[in-house]
Structure 1
Amino acid sequence: MNKTYDVKSVPIPKFSKPIDLAEGKRLYQSRGCGDCHDVDGSGKTFIEDPAIGILSGSNLTAGKGGILADRTDEELAIAIRHGVGKNGRALIFMPSTDFQGMTNEDVGKLISFLRSRPAIDKSQGEVKPGPLGRFLFLIGEIPVFVSAEIINHETTHLANITPSVSIEYGKYVASTCTGCHGFNLKGGPIQGAPPEWPPAQNISKHGLTKYTESNFIQTIRTGKRPDGTEMKFPMPWKSLGQLTDTELKALWMYLQTIQ
């Protein structure tokens, strides 16, 4: 957890048009950034468990206690996609494995949106891994505790990707799901979650046999499964409901290829 990483920065495009900032906002909401950094970007404590630890998202505004004024866009991109902070040290419990494949364009729109937001004065919440959290990390059960350790920092990022109902684009969208559903998307206990959290569902083809494309999309939009039951916390269906029809159809198409 004290290891440092040398990650080369790449130029990140800047955006100012309302349509691009709106897309940055949608990315922030649909990719679940608010789950740790709050809806206004000011950060919040999202896990407070004596065994797992106390984990809080950073204040992503330019206010007092925030990090935005002290980071370049390129440094923010490294934090998002590599899980590495300004000083080269790993960010604790930053799920960069979900975002490592984001294109330069999407990261740029996300960062530009953050910079357009009001400054909020709020101190950084505590980040203190607990004894069980440290142990589970050491035995490989919570790799997200130090996502920088398992990310390929030599990856060449795509400049952009054209949204389409395709397996390729569905795979791009599905990376958002890996933090809870696992890299193989077959579910199970959620990394670092308190014991009372339910396990993530298997969302491979075999785990979705009761779904069609239509009711899969409806479930994400409404939080209600085809049998009428409601998806339980921490399934972030309200965030994922911000995904476009193209994203959801492509996601469904890709999940159907996972055996």
Structure 2
Amino acid sequence: MNKTYEIKSVSIPKFYKPIDIAEGKRLYQSRGCGDCHDVDGSGRTFIDDPAIGTFSGANLTSGKGGVLSDRSDEELAIAIRHGVGKKGKALLFMPSTDFQGMTNEDVGKLIAFLRSSPAVDKPQGNLKAGPLGRFLFLIGEIPVFVSAEVIDHEANHLTNITPSLSLEYGKYVASTCTGCHGFSLKGGPIQGAPPEWPPAQDISKNGLANYSELTFIQTIRTGKRPDGSEMKFPMPWQSLGQLTDTELKALWIYLQTI
């Protein structure tokens, strides 16, 4: 938890046009950033459990207590994709494994949205590992606890990727799902979650056997499965419902190969 990392900085493109900032906002919302950093970017406590620990997302605005004014775009990109903060220190419970493959362009648009957002004065919430959280991390059950440990920091980042109905793009979108559904996307207990949270569903081809492309997309958009049952917390369908048709169709194509 106290280990430091040396990450090579990569130049991040700058975006100022309203259309690009709007895409950055959609990325923020659809990739679940608000689940930990709140809808306004000011941060929120997303786990508060005596055994697992207390974890709060950072204030990503330029207000008092926020980190935005003290970070360059390149430093923010390292935090997003590598799970590493200031002075090379690992960020706790930052799910960078979901974002390590994000393109330079998408990261740039996401950061452009953050820089365009109103400042919110709010101090950083508590960030403390509990005894069970530490134990589960030590035995490898919570990789996201220190995601920097499992990320290839030497990998080259794509400059951009063209949205298309392809396996490549579907895999790109699917990285958003690994934090809860696991690297294999076959579900199971959600890493670091309190015991009352239900396990994540298997979203491989077998797990989605009762879905068609159409009902899969409808489920993500409405929160209701084909059998009429509702998806419950912590499934962030409201966020994922903001994925584009191309993203969801490409995701479906990729999941069918697993």
CA separation in 1, counterparts of 2:47 and 2:195?
A: 12
Which ranges of structure 1 fall in alignment gaps of 5 or more residues? none
Give me the whole-angstrom Cα distance separating, in 2, the residues matched to 1:236 and 1:14: 29
Deviation at 1:86, TM superposition (A): 1.3
SS at match of 1:206: coil
Separation in structure 2 between the aligned mates of residue 229 and residue 165 of structure 1, nearest angstrom: 29
Alignment of 1:85-234 (within 5 A): 85-234=85-234
Which whole-Å CA distance do the structure 1 matches of 2:173 and 2:82 have between them?
Answer: 18
Whole-angstrom CA distance in 1 between matches of 2:207 and 2:46: 28
Instruction: Write the letter of the residue equivalent to 2:2.
Output: N
Encode CA deviations 1:29-70: one digit per residue, 9 max, x unaligned.
000000000000000100000000000000000000000000
- Secondary structure at 2:81 match in 1: helix
Which ranges in structure 2 are unaligned for 5 or more consecutive residues? none
TM-score w.r.t. length of structure 1: 0.99
Give CA deviations for 1:195-252 in whole Å, capped at 9, x if unaligned: 0000000000000000000000000000000000000100000000000000000000
1:100 and 1:167 mapped to 2: Cα distance? 18
- 1:105: how far off? 0.1
Q: Distance in 2 between matches of 1:2 and 1:23?
A: 35
Equivalence for 1:22: 22
Deviant stretches of 4+, over 4 Å? none
DSSP-derived class of the 1:134 partner? helix
Aligned runs of 1:52-71 on 2, under 5 Å? Answer: 52-71=52-71
1:44 and 2:44 aligned: yes
User: What corresponds to 2:83 in structure 1?
Assistant: 83
C-alpha distance in 1 between matches for 2:196 and 2:209: 27
How many angstroms does 1:87 deviate by?
Answer: 1.3
- Aligned residue identity for 1:18: P
Partner-residue secondary structure (3-state), 2:207? helix
Paired-residue identity, %: 84
* Residue type at the aligned position of 1:126: N
Match of 1:254 in 2: 254
What letter corresponds to residue 152 of structure 2 in structure 1? Answer: N
Whichever residue aligns with residue 223 of structure 1, its letter is G
How many residue pairs get aligned? The number is 258
Counterpart of 2:81, as a letter, is R
Q: Which residue of 2 aligns with 1:31?
A: 31
Q: TM-score, normalised by structure 2?
A: 1.00
Q: Distance in 1 between matches of 2:151 and 2:234?
A: 25
Question: Structure 2 CA distance, aligned partners of 1:228 and 1:87?
Answer: 50
